[in-house]
Amino acid sequence: IALCNPFGIIAFALIIASAAFAAAAGRDRKPTEDDLLDAAEAAAQGSGGDGTVQMVDHPLR
């Protein structure tokens, strides 16, 4: 019945849009290029003189 009148259609559209925005806002932030470069530089500086190198975390993890 709600989809038979214009206000019901608008209400359903707003519910779907708000659910989509909430799902998008709840996702984890994707690291920026600056964050990845900073992590790579920190890993390079953190490597000791014994030849060991620390790996940078995967960006999609």
Q: How far apart are the first and last CA of the chain?
A: 45
Number of domains, the chain: 1
Q: DSSP letters of 1-61?
A: -GGGSHHHHHHHHHHHHHHHHHHHHTSPPPPPHHHHHHHHHHHHHH--TTS--PPPPPTT-
Domain-embedded: residue 13: yes
Within a domain: residue 59?
no
User: Is residue 11 assigned to a domain?
Assistant: yes
Give residues with Cβ within 8 angstroms of 53, minimum separation 6. Answer: 43, 44, 47
54 found inside a domain: no
With respect to residue 1, please indicate whether it lies within any of the assigned structural domains. Answer: yes
In a domain, 38, yes or no: no
Tens digit of pLDDT for each residue in 13-57? Answer: 999 999 999 998 887 777 788 888 887 777 777 655 555 666 667
pTM, to two decimals: 0.46
3, 12 in Cβ contact below 8 A? Answer: yes
